Each structure stands twice: as C-alpha cells, then as structure tokens.
Chains A and B, each alone.
Chain A
Amino acid sequence: MNILEQVQEIFRDVFDEKTLVITETTSAKDIEDWDSLTHIQLVTKIEKHFKIRFTVSEVTKLKQVGDLIKLIESKTT
C-alpha cells in the first residue's frame, strides 16, 4: 500500500465510513465530520501508524490530504 492508501484506511476508520475515498485535494470542506476533534484523531492515528511526530504548527497547517502526505513522506524518509 502506498501512503495515500494507508492514510485512506485511517480516514475510513476515523470517519466510520468503509467506502470513503480520498485524494490529494480532499480537505475538511469535502468531509462533513472533519472537525477539530476528528482532525486530532486523524493526526494521532497517523503518528502512531507511521511512527512519526508532528509539531503544533504542523498540526494546524494540515488542511489538505496532499499536505499531509508530503509531510509524512518527509518524516519517514
């Protein structure tokens, strides 16, 4: 699985939607339940899954799936 697919699994888990499909341009506008709390759930699940840590300013800047994936890439390589 590439990073996007792995992230998609985490999204499906957090939003409890088995068929949810995300792309690089998906943002909070596209998913109605993506609020500040689910955002944190996403972040902490991703941290755990990829064994990485985000900083406060990174957490706040993550608005789009694309940004998220870029950041994961930069932290895992």
Chain B
Amino acid sequence: MISLNSLIFTGVLFLAPFLLSIKSKYRNWIFLLINLSLILISMSSVLSAIITFAWILIPYFLSSKLKKAHLLIGALVLGFIYLNRYDWIISSLGIPYLFTFKLLGLSYILFRQIDFVLNRSSMDQKNINLVHYLNYLLSFYTILAGPILKYEAFVEDLKDPQDPKEIDVLSVLHRVFNGYIKIFVLSALCSSISISIYRQLLTHFDVLSFIGLTITNALFIYFNFSGYCDVMIGMGKLSGFKIDENFNKPYLAQDLSDFWSRWHMTLTQWLTNYVFNPIVVIFARTEKLSLEKVQVIAFFITFLVAGLWHGTTLNFLIYGILQGFGVSLSKVINDYRIKRLGGRKAFRAHRQKPLVKAIEITLTLSYVALSFLFFSFDVLALLGM
C-alpha cells in the first residue's frame, strides 16, 4: 500500500509549510515547482507527459481566443470520456485506445478546467496567468480528490496568503493527526471488515450480513474521504492556503438535498453552478414546464453527471440514477409535507422535534448507505443478477 510515490508525497506535504508559508514573489514559483515535480514523478512515460501537458495547456491558450466557451467545454468532456476510458461508451462505439495510461486526477482537473474556461472572460483579467492556472489545476493539496476550489477564489488566496503567525498550529496539527487516524485506522478497519463480509455474502446471502456490509462500507467511505480532506485542509493551512471545507456532519442530514449540502460540498457547489442551474434556467425561461418538473429533470441530469464523473463503470450510472431519484422523491415528499403543515415555517419547526429528526436522519442515512454500496462493490453480482 505504501509506495515510493506516496512516501515522497507525504514528505513534501510536511516540508511544504517551511517553503510556502512566506510572503514572497517566489512563493508561486516554488509552489509550481513542487506541483510539477510531483506530477512528473507520477508519469510512466514520455508519451504520458506529452499528453498530460497538451491536455492541460491547450484549453488555456484556446480559451483566450474563443468568445463562446461551450464548444471548448464540449471538446473537453469528449476528451475526458476517452482519456478516462469509459469502456461502455468507447468500446460500444468501436473506438480503439491508442495508449494505456490514465491521467492522474483527471476528473478533478476537468472540473477545474471547466470553472476556468467558463469564467475566464468575466473575471479580473489581472488574475489570469499561466503560473496561477497550472498551480490551480495541479495543486498537490487538491489534485487527487478535491476539494474543488474556484479559480478566482484560489488566485485571490494566492495573492494574499494567510500570515503563519495567525495560525493556531497546534489545533491544525490536531486535525491533521485525526485525519490520519480516520484514514489509516478507522477507514482501513471498516474497509477490511466490509470486504470480508462481501466475500462471505457472495457465497451465502443473508440480510443481517448485508446490513453489516452497508454500515461498514458507509463508515469506510466517510472516514476515508473526510480524513483525507482533514489532512489536506490542515496541511494546506500551515502553508498559508485556504482550502474550502468539504464535509459538514453529512450523516446527520435530514433529507437527501440536505445530505448533498453537507457531503463533498465543493462538488455539490460545482454541480449546482455548472449543471443544475443552467438546466433550470434554460427550462424556466421557456415557461413550458412547471418549476417542480424542471427541478426533477435537473436533479436527474445533475446526479447522472455526478455518478458518471465518479467512475467509469455502469455501477456509477446506477448510483447517479439512485441519487437523482432519491433527491427528487425527497423534494416531492417535503413539498407535500409543507402543504399539509401549512407553510415552511411550521415545517421547519416540525422537523426540529427529536422523534421526527431521528426518523428523518435514519431514513436518509439508510438510503445514502445503500446507494454507496455501488461505489465499492459489484452490487448486481451480490444480488445474483
């Protein structure tokens, strides 16, 4: 599990605060040097380096020439489907693969590129330069798994890093340490338990073990991802970076849209801005469908995109559909409850009652945990399909 690359990465992570917690004109260059070095050591061949840098640089230069960004974004998405090997699309179209490597952190890079390309024309032009752009895409704090920052916020933060004297180093290190415990102890433990239950279930299915699998898997995913974010946000802070929070007690959410405003928050924000909102605005302008219907359509498309973005297999497509269905359903139920209770105020008060709260949290968490099974396991095989 521990490779040379991850050892180097950890070394850099703890060395970086000494190099980067300075206000100097060289800070951005040092940061770039670290980011590029880490990318380069992850490369397996010259060809992969060429493709990676072409992928990163071409949109930067093209987006300055284009008035409408949509064509470029379409091309990026198509390129992403190919480079990230969506086998059920590529193979069914009979397109051959020309090379075998996968680009490190490509999913996250794509979403950052889209943020940059879409906003380029409307942002402060002084904030645009290649060094910022490369640091934004390749920042080693966020390249592998987010959080997904916005280009403008990232650059503003680069220009005015937090003074290290203002940082409560001890509490930050505490958070980082907890993050490591979440990753290497709690998530590792839950992961190994869930895998052994899964193996057992494949030969003999029983409901109790299935519930055990669902719980340990949900814990594994939460500890792993939130622990990772704790480490990155904390270590980033020690270097003067402000990295957005990504989790806010997600398993205490009271309905699915509440869940998505607490889980992988920066992804939800991205999807809201660049998928959900545009769809709703476009449909709402036509005034052909009621806003409720438009919303359901937009939820489905948004979570389909979210599911497919997470992984290349059909399992993720199912996961996306489940989420789209769940969020739509919870919206419809809540609208009905608001009407029955006579308004939003009464509804909010009603939801604060301990029993109602407990039921809502349990139902939401169960739905989420079941859908998360598609993330880790071949659920269809498990159910004998």
- Which A residues form the contact surface with B (CB < 8 A)? 32-33, 36-37, 39-41, 43-44, 47, 54-60
Contacts and interface: CB of A to CB of B under 8 A. Distances in A.
Contact of B291 (A32, A41, A43, A58): A41
Contact of A32 (B119, B122, B348): B348
Contacts of A60: 272-274, 277
Contact of B280 (A40, A54, A55): A40
19 contacts: A32-B344, A36-B272, A37-B280, A37-B291, A40-B280, A40-B281, A40-B284, A41-B291, A43-B281, A44-B285, A54-B281, A56-B118, A56-B277, A57-B118, A58-B122, A59-B273, A59-B277, A59-B278, A60-B272
B122 A57 contact: yes
B277 A36 contact: yes
Contacts of A59: 273, 277-278, 281
Contacts of B348: 32
Contacts of A39: 277
Nearest to B279: A40
B351 to A, nearest CB: 12
A44 B276 CA distance: 14
Contacts of A37: 280, 291, 295
Contact of A40 (B119, B122, B277): B277
Nearest to A38: B291
Interface range on chain B: under 10, 10 to 19, 20 to 34, or 35 or more? Answer: 10 to 19
Nearest to B331: A37
Nearest to B70: A56
A43 B280 CA distance: 11
Given A44-B284, A56-B273, A56-B278, 9 more contacts: A32-B344, A32-B348, A36-B272, A37-B280, A41-B284, A44-B285, A56-B281, A57-B118, A59-B278
B274 A56 contact: yes
A46 to B, nearest CB: 11
A25 to B, nearest CB: 20
Interface in B325-383: 344, 348
A55 B70 CA distance: 12
B115 to A, nearest CB: 9
A44 B277 contact: no
Interface string B87-100: 00000000000000
Contacts of B274: 56, 60
A40 B295 CA distance: 10
B272 to A, nearest CB: 5
A4 B301 CA distance: 35
A36 B281 contact: no
Nearest to A15: B344
**Which A-B residue pairs are the 3 nearest by beta carbons?**
A60-B273, A44-B284, A40-B280
Contacts of B295: 37
Interface string B103-133: 0000000000000001100100000000000
A47 B291 CA distance: 16
B156 to A, nearest CB: 13
A44 to B, nearest CB: 4
Nearest to A37: B295
Contacts of B276: 36
